[in-house]
Amino acid sequence: MNKKLISLIAGVALVATTTGCSNSATSSTADASSTAGNTSSASDTTKADDSSATEELSGTLSMNGSTSMEKVIKAVNGAFMEKNKGVTVNLNLTGSGTGIQEASEGKCDIGNSSRKLKDDEAEKLDATVIGLDGIALVVNPTNKLEDITIEDLAKVYSGEITNWKDLGGDDKAIVVIGREDGSGTRDGFESIVMGDKQPQYAQELESTGSVINAVATTDGAIGYASLANVDETVKALKIGGVEATEENVKSGAYEVQRPFICATLKDSDNKLVKAYLDFILSEEGQALVLAQGAVPVK
């Protein structure tokens, strides 16, 4: 009887011991599974982070066009290259007409234009408006005139009015200064102001800076220039009582205004072009547009 009792007690002890190991193994497996799950999750997160990382850009982006857009584009180009160390942006300033032509022929990636695209140009090009610009009518600082109407401007530029005294100014001959044929500023000004009148220029100059300098140094002169480029060497006239300011351009109150455009080939798959346009329309890019005196569109 003692032997049977001892055997029974030993059997119970063996079952209890086996059961305890089984529970321990199950717990250990669960921990391993949990650890493996955590490892997998971390790996997936790393992959997600890698896939969301911005693709590093490299290469050369070429652009040509408007001298009126010079300050804006140079500021944006500098910031874009700073953010993308592998990218070089080459800029030529030969006027809106040339920029549009070269973009349409694939000779440059972006054509900068300070006027709207014409219908035939829009057949090959997309126009991205990156800002708005007022065309300021500037006179020599000694000119006492403060305000002029669109109608009188047309008469001045067509040669119907030739002396400032006829507009309430001093008895001085008016020297009419403008831009060369093909200039976006000239096209914008004439399309808004001239109607069917033909302009009569005393001087036709090839850059915004040249116009401002000529007006600043010529007694009796009047010229037009991008609002973004007007400085203290000239005086901007009100148009119909409205000042040439960023606020008045954005609201539409100031009539003599035009868009700043980046023109690109339709259906282009150029990654640099897309990245550049995304940047110039971003909050940072539009802040640069504003800082250079143009009016942001976003």
Residue 43 lies in a domain: no
Of residues 74 and 40, which shows the higher confidence score?
A: 74
CA-closest candidate to residue 264, choices 128, 132, 131: 128
Contact assessment for residue 68 and residue 209, using Cβ atoms and an 8 Å cutoff:
no
Q: Is the pLDDT of residue 141 over 50?
A: yes
- Specify the pLDDT at position 84: 97
- Specify the pLDDT at position 43: 41
Contact assessment for residue 260 and residue 148, using Cβ atoms and an 8 Å cutoff:
no
Same-domain pairing of 110 and 178: no
Q: What is the CATH number of the domain that holds 80?
A: 3.40.190.10
CA 285-287-292 angle, to 5 degrees, is 100
How high is the mean pLDDT of the chain? 85
pLDDT tens-digit profile of 205-216?
Answer: 999 999 999 999
Residue 159 lies in a domain: yes
Percentage, residues of the chain above pLDDT 70: 82
Same-domain pairing of 167 and 223: yes
Contact assessment for residue 111 and residue 263, using Cβ atoms and an 8 Å cutoff:
yes
Same-domain pairing of 100 and 173: no
Q: Is the pLDDT of residue 35 over 60?
A: no
**Phi, psi torsion values for 136, nearest 5 degrees:** -85, 140
List the domain range (segments joined by +) for residue 149.
134-257
Percentage, residues of the chain above pLDDT 90: 77
CA-closest candidate to residue 230, choices 252, 209, 203: 209
- Specify the pLDDT at position 182: 86
Residue 265 lies in a domain: yes
Same-domain pairing of 110 and 157: no
Q: How far apart are CA 256 and CA 226, in angstroms?
A: 10
CA–CA distances in Å: residue 253 to residues 47, 214, 242, 245: 52, 28, 7, 10
Q: Is the pLDDT of residue 158 over 60?
A: yes
Q: Is the pLDDT of residue 14 over 50?
A: no
CA-closest candidate to residue 273, choices 70, 109, 81: 109
Q: How far apart are CA 42 and CA 49, in angstroms?
A: 11
Residue 36 lies in a domain: no
Q: How many CB atoms lie within 10 A of CB 95?
A: 27
How many structural domains is the chain composed of?
A: 2
Query: Which strand (E) or helix (H) includes residue 173?
Result: none
Contact assessment for residue 131 and residue 294, using Cβ atoms and an 8 Å cutoff:
yes
Place of tokens 């009582």: 241
Q: How far apart are CA 110 and CA 130, in angstroms?
A: 12
Residue 9 lies in a domain: no
Residue 85 lies in a domain: yes
User: Whole-model pTM?
Assistant: 0.69
Residue 13 lies in a domain: no
pLDDT tens-digit profile of 15-34?
Answer: 343 333 333 333 333 333 33
Determine the 3-state secondary structure of 76 from DSSP.
helix
- Specify the pLDDT at position 78: 98
- Specify the pLDDT at position 198: 96
Same-domain pairing of 116 and 154: no
Q: How far apart are CA 75 and CA 66, in angstroms?
A: 14
Residue 22 lies in a domain: no
- Specify the pLDDT at position 235: 97
Same-domain pairing of 271 and 227: no
pLDDT tens-digit profile of 243-280?
Answer: 999 899 989 999 999 999 999 999 999 999 999 999 99
Same-domain pairing of 192 and 238: yes
pLDDT tens-digit profile of 109-131?
Answer: 999 999 999 999 999 999 999 99
Q: How far apart are CA 83 and CA 61, in angstroms?
A: 14
Q: Is the pLDDT of residue 46 over 70?
A: no
Residue 244 burial (10 A CB sphere; 0-12, 13-18, 19+): buried
